[in-house]
Each structure stands twice: as C-alpha cells, then as structure tokens.
C-alpha cells in the first residue's frame, strides 16, 4: 500500500542523526541551516557552522559528565539553540528527551525523574516565567539532589536574564567547550548505531498518563526521510517552524527533515498570525506545515493583505477533519501551490500515511492518504487502524505490558484509531476508539457528526462528545467555533444535522465557544469539554 509518489530512498545510506548532519555539512557547507530573527539580533548558521556548534555542544555535555547512553532533556521553545542542543545530545551518544513547553514544573520534574535524565537544557526567562527557578522550587530547592542531573544548562533568550543558582550558562559552557578538543564527541558520534535509541517522546496524553515512546535512530531518520521526500524538500527551501520542536511534527518532520535535505530552518517560538506571515514575507519562506487551526487563523487574520505570502509552495497539515473548503482557501486565498495532509502518531515517529502533491483537493481533505515509504497499514476486525514498518517505535519506556498491548506479535502497532481504507488505498480516520459513544444502543462516531457540522457555512471547527443521558445512556453534545459575523444558533445547527444524519447521530445540544483546549500538536482535548 506504499504510494509510488512518496519517496525518500535518496537518504537510505543515512541511519543516524550524526550521519545526517555530517552529510549536510559536506553537501551544503555554506548554505544557511538556521536563520533565527527572534532574540534582538539575527542569528544565521550555515550547515558547516551548525556542525561546528553541535560538536561544541556535545563536548560541553561530555565535560559536564554526560555518558553515552544517558538521557538528556530539553525544555525550551523553538529557537536556534534547540537543534544545536538536540543534535549535540546525539553527537555525545546520548538520548534526547524533549519536554513539552506547556508542562508545569511538576510535570516536567516527573518526566525528568521517570527518564532518569542526567542533564537538562532549559530556557531561562520566557513569556514571563523562569522555568528553572520553578523547577528547582518544585524539587525542594535542590534540583540535582532530587534528580540524577549532573548539569542544567540555562539558555538566556533575554539578554537581561540573570543566571539562576545551580545552573550553567549555555553560552559560557559552549565558549569553554569551544576551546577543547572535540575528538571524544566525534568518536561518540561515529559510534552511534542505527538501533540506538535516539529519543524518548511522551505521548500527548489526551487520555490517561503519558507514556514514553522509544524511537531508534533508524526509525526517526526513516520517518523524516519519507516525509521530506514526499514534500520534495531541498536546499532551495525555507521552512517556517511553528510546530513545537518538542513534538514529532517540529522535531522529526522539521529539524531532521531539514537536516536530510539542506532546507533552511526558520524557528518561531511564539505563534501569532502576524508573526508567522511577517516571517514568510521577510524570509520568502516556501514550506509551512501546521495544524488546520493555524491556517484558519491566517485566513481570518485582519492584516493578511499587508504581507506577501506568494513564496509559499507547500503546506502540510493533518487532522481527522480538514474541510475541503479549508484546503481550497489555503490554495486560493493564501496562494499555497500544494496542500497535503498526513496521519501519524508518536508511536510511529509521527509518520504512518500521507497524501501526495498529485492528489486532488477532495482526497487531501477527506483522507490521510496512503502509507509512507517503509510503512504498511490494515484494519482489524473491529475497524482499528494497524500500522507496521520502519517507523514503529521499539516500545514504551519501562512498560513492557503497555508495549505488548500496543504492538502485537506480528509487529502491528494498534493505533487506537478507527478508520476505513478505500479502493485506492487511502486511509480515512473516522474516530478514536475511546471517543465512540453509544446512543440508545447504537454506536456513534463523533468524527462523522463533526464532518457534517463542519460543512455549515461560518463554522470554523467542531468537536462532538458523548454526555450522560438517563433515557439513552449517552447523547451527543456539539461544541462549535464560528467565524466573526456568522449568523447561527443551536436551532439552525440541529436543523442541518437532522437533514444529514440519522436520528441517533444528531447531537442533543450545541455550545458555541471562543477557543478549544488543545494539546501541543493542536489536537482538541475532548476530555476537557464538559
């Protein structure tokens, strides 16, 4: 079921991230790898410059006591520091543990403890919060005593930021390491094996406690290569990075994909429509992946006409529902030549299926496409989507029981998603197993209802959940966001539902809200809708 259009074979000789970076520095030494305009001055690193910075970062970590096989956490927003730190962790032979920037100090500390991380790269004051101070307080005043950390390297994003006790300044640590011999870092980078664990990414936690997915270098690289090949990324591209680096979309479909293809990274730490459009216009950006809601905010932005977005050639998005009208408006109103959708999950390094640039708007909007190169899919007897192939994780951190439940004896990853596969091999996600509710004895899959309601003119986004009902057990409740000036009420929404859905599928109530609660990937947190 692999689409012939989805490529990536040109990267087959690359099996680890150190190999990918060394290759990039050899092929495109003077091409810009990162341009970061965010911190009061523009920081530009070429691919050879990025390799030099990464070798220095690896040496700094080694100097602080990080051993090969250790885990190193990063808790920071998108900036030029993040790729240096992440690839530096790999060059030191260690495993990367990205921390969600939305975590509280308690949540971050729990992940640091669960992974037994030996070092932490952390942003200083950002958006008014000093995360290291908060984390130290959460640990009872002594972070290193409460964890196994040998070092906490603090990134100063604000030049007026003051150093926190118990931490090392990022710039000072790298300046010191820059004067040292990097041969140990080079030796460790060369010793990294394709089967070594590259990262531990924690599931987004839409239900229950998050689990740490263990990905090997070869799994992470295979996914990034397939994604980059499908989008035709190359050294002439510039990539706006609004997706957070701690997530697979920003890290593997972002940093790693760019490293494989020589694409220039344009990190954006704080998203707003104006910030993103200004970056596209100033840097003539060509690639702009993001959640559907990102593009909806661009379309609704009052100042959109002030920015030149004509350089954009590729947008990649993904969700159970992407209305056809959104795809059409992204092409016509934003001027994006190619819009494609994809489907993935942390347990598969973020990559399972994708549409291709050759697919029509209806296929892009209504399906998740065919399997990426190196992956295959099928449906279980109850309609659950199963995935197998190069990108599937090795397992969950310290949880063999959960691993055995997720990956069966034949290597099939049980995704927890319900779907269909059409005659052309296109996957359509109809819902999460856990999202289904039973109304009067009939199974209701909210995504089907959401698809119908999303076609009401003026509706920008929909989420349907099951709520308790004495007579029917559960009934649907629809939550809607609507465009400014849209004229609708509960009655008109339910009237549309009655005209297009069987009675048991029709929501019994409608609530209009300003914003949806979301996880870091932009997915709606339905458990917070009640």
- Please state the rounded mean pLDDT for residues 409-433: 91
Q: Is 519 helix (H, G, I), strand (E, B) or coil?
A: coil
What distance lies between CA 305 and its chain's CA centroid? 29
- Residue 294 pLDDT greater than 80, yes or no: yes
Q: What is the pLDDT of residue 4?
A: 38
Q: Mind listing the pLDDT tens digit for each residue in 302-361? A: 999 999 999 999 999 876 567 788 899 999 999 999 999 999 999 999 999 999 999 998
- Paired tokens of 525: 């947190």
pLDDT at 459 over 50: yes
Q: What average pLDDT does the segment 76-87 reach?
A: 98
Q: How confident is the model at residue 5 (pLDDT cuts 50, 70, 90)?
A: very low
pLDDT over 70 at 415, yes or no: yes
Confidence band, pLDDT 50/70/90 cuts, at residue 441: low
Torsion-angle region of 302 (φ positive above 0: left; ψ -120 to 50: alpha; else: beta): alpha
Cα 157 to Cα 124: distance, rounded to the nearest angstrom: 6
Largest CA distance in the chain: 74
* pTM for this model (two decimals): 0.85
* Contacts (Cβ under 8 Å, ≥6 apart) of 482: 458, 459, 460, 488, 512
Q: b/e for 72-102, b at 16 or more Cβ within 10 A?
A: bbbbbbbbbbbbbbbbbbbbbbbbbbbbbbe
Joined together, the tokens standing for residue 368 give 């998740």
- CA-to-CA distance for 249 and 38, rounded, in angstroms? 21
Give the separation between CA 284 and CA 491, rounded to whole angstroms: 46
- In the chain, the domains with their CATH numbers are 17-31+39-192 (3.40.50.980), 223-432 (3.40.50.12780), 436-528 (3.30.300.30)
Task: Label the pairing between strands 384-389 and 413-421.
Answer: antiparallel
For 417, which DSSP code? E
Residue 502 has pLDDT above 50, yes or no: yes
pLDDT at 139: 87
Q: Which of 18, 521, 30 is nearest to 248 (CA)?
A: 521
The predicted pLDDT at position 198 comes to 98
Distance between CA atoms of residues 218 and 15, nearest Å: 5
Say yes or no to pLDDT of 208 above 60.
no
Query: What burial class does residue 122 get, using C-beta atoms within 10 Å of its C-beta: 0-12 exposed, 13-18 middle, 19+ buried?
Result: buried
How far is CA 19 from each of CA 188, 374, 431, 465, 468, rounded to the nearest angstrom?
12, 20, 39, 46, 54
- Between CA 29 and CA 520 the distance in angstroms is 33
Average pLDDT over every residue of 424-444 = 80
């Amino acid at each position: 079921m692999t689409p012939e259009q989805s490529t990536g074979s040109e990267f087959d000789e690359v099996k680890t991230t150190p190999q990918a970076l060394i290759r990039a520095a050899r092929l495109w030494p003077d091409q810009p790898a990162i341009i970061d305009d965010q911190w009061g001055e523009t920081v530009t690193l070429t691919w050879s410059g990025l390799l030099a910075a990464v070798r220095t970062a690896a040496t700094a970590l080694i100097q602080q006591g990080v051993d090969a096989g250790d885990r190193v956490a990063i808790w920071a927003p998108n900036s030029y520091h993040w790729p240096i730190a992440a690839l530096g962790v790999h060059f030191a032979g260690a495993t990367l543990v990205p921390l969600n920037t939305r975590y509280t100090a308690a949540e971050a500390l729990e992940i640091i403890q669960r992974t037994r991380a030996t070092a932490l790269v952390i942003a200083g004051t950002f958006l008014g919060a000093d995360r290291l101070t908060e984390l130290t307080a959460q640990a009872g005043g002594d972070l290193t005593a409460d964890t196994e950390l040998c070092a906490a390297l603090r990134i100063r994003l604000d030049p007026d930021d003051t150093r926190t006790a118990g931490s090392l300044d990022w710039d000072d640590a790298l300046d010191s390491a820059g004067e040292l011999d990097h041969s140990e870092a080079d030796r460790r980078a060369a010793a990294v094996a394709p089967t070594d664990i590259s990262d531990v990414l924690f599931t987004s936690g839409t239900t229950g406690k998050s689990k740490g997915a263990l990905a090997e270098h070869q799994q992470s690289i295979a996914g990034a290569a397939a994604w980059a090949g499908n989008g035709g990324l190359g050294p002439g591209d510039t990539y706006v990075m609004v997706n957070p680096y701690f997530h697979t979309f920003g890290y593997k479909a972002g940093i790693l994909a760019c490293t494989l293809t020589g694409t220039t990274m344009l990190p954006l730490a704080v998203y707003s429509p104006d910030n993103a459009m200004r970056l596209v216009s100033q840097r003539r950006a060509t690639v702009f992946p993001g959640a559907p809601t990102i593009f909806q905010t661009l379309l609704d932005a009052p100042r959109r006409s002030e920015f030149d977005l004509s350089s954009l050639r590729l947008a990649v998005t993904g969700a159970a529902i992407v209305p056809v009208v959104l795809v059409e408006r992204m092409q016509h109103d934003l001027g994006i030549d190619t819009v494609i959708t994809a489907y993935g999950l942390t347990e598969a390094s973020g990559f399972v299926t994708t549409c291709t640039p050759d697919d029509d708007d209806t296929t892009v909007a209504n399906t998740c496409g065919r399997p990426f190169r190196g992956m295959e899919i099928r449906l279980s007897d109850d309609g659950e989507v199963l995935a197998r192939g190069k990108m599937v994780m090795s397992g969950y951190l310290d949880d063999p029981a959960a691993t055995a439940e997720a990956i069966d004896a034949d290597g099939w990853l049980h995704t927890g998603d319900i779907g269909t596969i059409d005659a052309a091999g296109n996957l359509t996600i109809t819902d999460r197993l856990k999202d289904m509710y039973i109304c009067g004895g009939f199974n209701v899959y909210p995504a089907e209802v959401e698809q119908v309601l999303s076609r009401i003119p003026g509706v920008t986004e929909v989420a349907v959940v099951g709520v308790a009902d004495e007579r029917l057990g559960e009934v649907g409740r629809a939550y809607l966001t609507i465009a400014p000036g849209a004229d609708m009420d509960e009655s008109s929404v339910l009237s549309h539902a009655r005209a297009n859905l069987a009675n048991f599928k029709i929501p019994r109530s409608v609530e209009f809200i300003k914003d949806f609660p979301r996880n870091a990937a932009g997915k709606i947190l339905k458990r917070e809708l009640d």
